[in-house]
Amino acid sequence: MTTDTKLYEPVKEVLDKLRPFLLRDGGDCELVDIDEGIVKLRLLGACGTCPSSTITLKAGIERALLEEVPGVVEVEQVF
């Protein structure tokens, strides 16, 4: 794990703001790593098997992180 410590807290804060929306649909996400601005997330519960999970990841979570956390360049899903 090569977690970028200066991005960890801001990324965690954004994920905590988004978490209620994921939980409402029976899912969640886990922050696995941050490496050179690439945030690696694991989708859990219903989000892990949902056909719309890619849209949730890119259009929802990634967009929010890019807007709110300078230094984030991409979000990747890990399994």
Q: List pLDDT tens digits, range 5-44.
A: 899 999 999 999 999 999 998 999 999 999 999 999 999 9
Query: What is the distance between the alpha carbons of residues 62 and 66, in angstroms, rounded to a whole number?
Result: 6
Is 19 in contact with 60 (CB distance < 8 Å)?
no
Taking residues 48-75, report their average pLDDT. Answer: 92
Q: Is 42 helix (H, G, I), strand (E, B) or coil?
A: strand
Tell me what pLDDT residue 4 has: 75
Global pTM?
Answer: 0.91
Residue 1: pLDDT over 60: no
| H or E element at residue 59 | none
What domains are there in the chain, each with its CATH number?
5-77 (3.30.300.130)
Residues 46, 51: Cα–Cα separation, whole Å: 10
